């Protein structure tokens, strides 16, 4: 793989995944505009994550059947249409439908990631996936900053229109420069492929462990990001622009991702998964004890994003080392669990904020962490990646 190809995959992955996170810093604005409660707008954010999880389960496995070059572009077109629907939504009901469709159709990154793993040399798979996942994390953190800042100077609906325009530009770039899929169309049928998902999950210990860890680590991440805008407004009387700026602290995770990939290649994914839990756990201890001060939030966000990135890169390297012929299905299972955890994190954190405030939010994160630790010691991750897949 050339550096240009890897960079293209990283950038496109970040641009598309950004669609999922525009809603988080502008939840207060949406609640005010549509006249709905914070709990309801929190449900809208959860719907986006659930839609994405559904797309991961039912659409991403198509990467093992169809030409991935064409499938990626088809999903980008559907994503652009969903963003335009969000822009035009006249009420909360239509916007809820749009957010669900945005989630379902924004799965192209999860077709690109196994494609990158398929193209990468086995000894460099972790490093290549680390770079592509840097693009993913960059998209997530910049989307929050993009959305929060623009939401402070223009109608929040315009954010979705601008995003649709950006996605259209990258659709043209992908059509021109993304590598063609040499496999072409595979002689597989959709429903038989979907029916193999439970068997793949049950038969692969490493996949089960990665799925549970991803569920918990992304759940912890969304516990913070789904309630941060509410906390900033209540504690500091700050708006969406500050929530967006705090998202830029995730640049630490972007910078370390290639290094994490190299560490996974040369040392052990079990080591890096352990570090991910330490970073995320310490982050929420800081949120709990000194989250009332802005410096506490800053330090905690940096640690949490590091923990999320360590987990994501490590688990993707494990999953993509299992079986190249089943890479899209394995990725589908992992990422379905990953974003299912994110949606539950959003749901439970929003509920906890409404009933118990910031302490309740931190307790929800603690539950996710306990489950992750149990998975780490009971099921466990491999000490080394499979180089023969």
**Interval 287-308 mean pLDDT:** 90
The pLDDT, as a whole number, for residue 134 is: 80
Judge whether 352 and 285 are in contact, CB under 8 Å.
Answer: no
Report the domain count for the chain: 1
65 lies in a domain? yes
User: 33: exposed, middle or buried (C-beta count within 10 Å: 0-12, 13-18, 19+)?
Assistant: middle
**Residue range 168-194: average pLDDT?**
85
Longest CA–CA separation in the chain, Å? 58
Q: What is the pLDDT of residue 186?
A: 67
Q: Is residue 389 domain-resident?
A: no
Q: What are 8-39's pLDDT values in tens digits?
A: 999 999 999 999 888 878 888 898 899 988 77
Read off the CATH number of the domain in which 12 is found. 1.20.1250.20
Residue predicted with more confidence, 389 or 242: 242
Burial 132-165, CB ≥16 within 10 A → b, else e? bbbbbbbbbbbbbbbbbbbbbeeebbebbebbbe
* Range of the structural domain that residue 48 is part of: 3-179+190-378
Structural domain contains residue 335: yes
Residue 241 lies in a domain: yes
Task: Indicate whether 384 belongs to any domain.
Answer: no
Using an 8 Å Cβ cutoff, are 279 and 302 in contact? no
**Residue-averaged pLDDT of the chain:** 87
The angle that helices 294-320 and 125-151 make with each other, rounded to 10 degrees, is 140
- Tokens representing 272 are 């890096």
- The answer to the question of residue 388 being in a domain is no
- Rounded average pLDDT over 118-130: 79
| Averaged pLDDT for residues 213-236 | 89
CB 119 within 8 A of CB 1: yes
Residue 383: inside a domain:
no
The pLDDT of residue 279 is 95
Whether residue 141 is contained in a domain is answered as yes
Dihedral over alpha carbons 113, 198, 211, 41 (to 10 degrees): 90
């Amino acid at each position: 793989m050339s550096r240009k190809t890897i960079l293209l995959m990283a950038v496109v992955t970040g641009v598309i995944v950004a669609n999922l996170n525009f809603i988080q810093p502008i939840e207060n604005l949406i609640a005010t505009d549509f006249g709905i409660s914070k709990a309801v707008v929190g449900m809208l954010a959860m719907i986006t994550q659930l839609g994405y999880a559904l797309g991961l389960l039912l659409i991403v496995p198509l990467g093992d059947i169809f030409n991935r070059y064409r499938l990626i572009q088809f999903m980008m077109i559907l994503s652009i249409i969903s963003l335009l629907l969000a822009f035009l939504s006249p009420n909360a009901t239509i916007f809820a439908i749009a957010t669900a469709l945005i989630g379902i159709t924004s799965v192209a990154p999860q077709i690109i990631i196994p494609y990158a793993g398929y193209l990468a040399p086995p000894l460099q798979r972790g490093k290549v996936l680390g770079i592509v996942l840097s693009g993913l994390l960059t998209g997530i953190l910049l989307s929050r900053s993009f959305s929060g800042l623009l939401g402070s100077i223009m109608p929040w609906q315009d954010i979705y229109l601008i995003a649709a325009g950006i996605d259209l530009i990258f659709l043209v770039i992908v059509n021109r420069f993304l590598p063609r899929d040499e496999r072409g169309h595979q002689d597989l049928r959709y429903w038989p492929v979907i029916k193999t998902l439970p068997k793949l999950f049950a038969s692969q210990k490493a996949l089960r462990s990665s799925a549970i860890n991803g569920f918990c680590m992304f759940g912890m991440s969304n516990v913070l990001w789904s309630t941060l805008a509410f906390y900033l407004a209540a504690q500091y009387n700050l708006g969406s622009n500050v929530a967006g700026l705090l998202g830029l602290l995730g640049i630490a995770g972007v910078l370390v991702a290639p290094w994490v990939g190299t560490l996974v290649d040369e040392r052990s994914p079990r080591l890096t998964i352990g570090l991910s839990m330490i970073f995320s756990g310490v982050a929420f201890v800081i949120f709990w004890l000194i989250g009332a001060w802005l410096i506490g939030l800053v330090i905690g966000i940096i640690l949490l994003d590091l923990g999320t990135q360590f987990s994501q890169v490590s688990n993707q390297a494990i999953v993509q080392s299992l079986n190249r012929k089943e890479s899209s299905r394995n990725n589908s299972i992992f990422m379905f669990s990953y974003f299912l955890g994110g949606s539950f994190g959003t749901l439970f954190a929003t509920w906890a904020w409404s009933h118990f405030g910031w302490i309740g939010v931190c307790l929800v994160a603690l539950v996710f962490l306990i489950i992750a630790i149990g998975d780490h010691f009971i099921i466990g991750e491999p000490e080394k990646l499979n180089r023969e897949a």
